[in-house]
Amino acid sequence: MTAVAVSEPVSQTSPVPDVAGLDVAAELLRGRRFVALTGAGISTDSGIPDYRGEGAPTRNPMTFQQFRSGADYRKRYWAGSHAGWRHFRGAEPNSGHRALADLELSGALAGVVTQNVDELHTRAGSRRVVDLHGSMNRVLCLDCGQVFARASIAARIDEANPWFEEPGAVQIAPDGDANVTNIADFVLPNCSVCGGSLKPDVVFFGEYIPAEIYQEAKALVHSSDALLIAGSSLVVNSGIRLLEQARRRRLPIVIINRGVTKGDSRASVKLNAGTSETLVALAARLTA
C-alpha cells in the first residue's frame, strides 16, 4: 500500500491536529473494520501519568527477578503498589476511552489491545479488550495460581498494617506503583490458599507477556482491516510486533500520539496531538 503523507506536526499546545490530517485518517479507516492499540497516552487525561511523555520523571521500576529474589524487594513493591493503587482506582474513563467504546458499538472497531493496566477501556464500555500487560485490579499467587480481586487484598493489607499511611505526596506511576520508603515493618499479603507469594497481575519488566494473551492480540490484528495506534510511543516490543504484523499485510496504520513514536516511519498517517480529543474528533467523522 502506498503511504499517505504524514501530517505536519502541530504545536504541543494544540489540542488536535489540523482538519486535513483528521480527514486523511478518517478516509483511511472509513469502511474498514479496524483494531485499536492503546498506550499510556490515552489515560493521561484520567490522571494516570505517562512513562515516557514530555515531563515524565525518570523511573527504574522493579524487575520480576528482583521481586522474586527476596522479601525486602516484595515489601518495597507492595508498599508502593498499595499506596499507588489507592489513587489509581479513583481514575475514571475519559472521552478517548468512550470514543473507542462508541466506535466498537457502531461496528467500526473490532476491539482494543491495550498496554495499560487500568481497565479504563472496560469501564468505558468496550467489550472486546485484550489487556496485553495485565490488570492492576487482579492479584495472583505465584505458587498455586489462585487469582484474587485487588480490593480484597487491599483490605487485608490495611488490616495487617494499621500503622501504614500513604505519604503526603505520592508520586504515582502508570502501573499504579508509588515511591514509598517506610517499609521495614510492612506485613506482606500472602496467598490464603497455599501461603505463597502474591503479585499484582501485571507484566513486570523482565517478564514475558503470557503466550495466550499475546496470541489473542495477534489474532485480533490479523482479523482486522486497519490498525489505529493511540497514545503509545511504541517503545515496548509488544506494540512494535503488532504494528509489524499490520505493516506486513499492508494494512492502513494510523498513529495518534503527542510526540515521536518508534512507528512513525511505518505509519500511513501520524497525527501529532492529544490522544483523547483526537479520538473524539476522529470518531465523530467515522460515525457521522
Residue entry with cell 474528533: 281
User: Which class in CATH covers the domain with range 19-49+93-134+208-287?
Assistant: alpha beta
Residue 170 has a pLDDT of: 44
Does residue 119 register a pLDDT over 50? Answer: yes
Active-site entry in 82, 97, 121, 133: 133
Does residue 12 register a pLDDT over 60? Answer: no
Residue 5 has a pLDDT of: 37
Residue 84 has a pLDDT of: 78
CA 233 remoteness from chain centre:
11
Q: What is the pLDDT of residues 230-286, one digit of tens each?
A: 999 999 899 999 999 999 999 999 999 999 999 999 999 999 999 999 999 999 999
For the chain, where do the domains classified as CATH 3.40.50.1220 start and end? Answer: 19-49+93-134+208-287
Cβ within 8 Å of residue 85, ≥6 positions away? 136, 150, 154, 176
Q: What is the pLDDT of residues 142-182, one digit of tens each?
A: 999 999 999 999 999 999 988 776 554 445 555 555 556 66
Q: What is the pTM of this model?
A: 0.87
Q: What is the 3-state secondary structure (H, E, C) of the chain?
A: CCCCCCCCCCCCCCCCCCHHHHHHHHHHHCCCCEEEEECHHHCHHHCCCCCCCCCCCCCCCCEHHHHHHCHHHHHHHHHHHHHHHHHHCCCCCCHHHHHHHHHHHHCCEEEEEECCCCCHHHHHCCCCEEECCEEEEEEEECCCCCEEEHHHHHHHHHHHCCCCCCCCCCCECCCCCECCCCCCCCCCCECCCCCCEEEEEECCECCCCCHHHHHHHHHHHHCCCEEEEECCCCCCHHHHHHHHHHHHCCCCEEEECCCCCCCHHHCCEEECCCHHHHHHHHHHHHHC
Residue 278 has a pLDDT of: 96
Q: What is the pLDDT of residues 275-287, one digit of tens each?
A: 999 999 999 999 9
Residue 176 has a pLDDT of: 54
- Classify domain 64-90+137-202 at the CATH topology level: SIR2/SIRT2 'Small Domain' (3.30.1600)
For the chain, where do the domains classified as CATH 3.30.1600 start and end? Answer: 64-90+137-202
Does residue 6 register a pLDDT over 50? Answer: no
Is 133 noted as a catalytic residue in this protein? Answer: yes
Number of Cα atoms under 13 Å in the Cβ half of residue 239: 26
Q: What are the strands of the beta sheet with 134-141, ordered from one edge?
A: 147-149, 134-141, 198-202
Per-chain mean pLDDT for the chain = 87
Instruction: Please state the rounded mean pLDDT for residues 36-46.
Output: 95
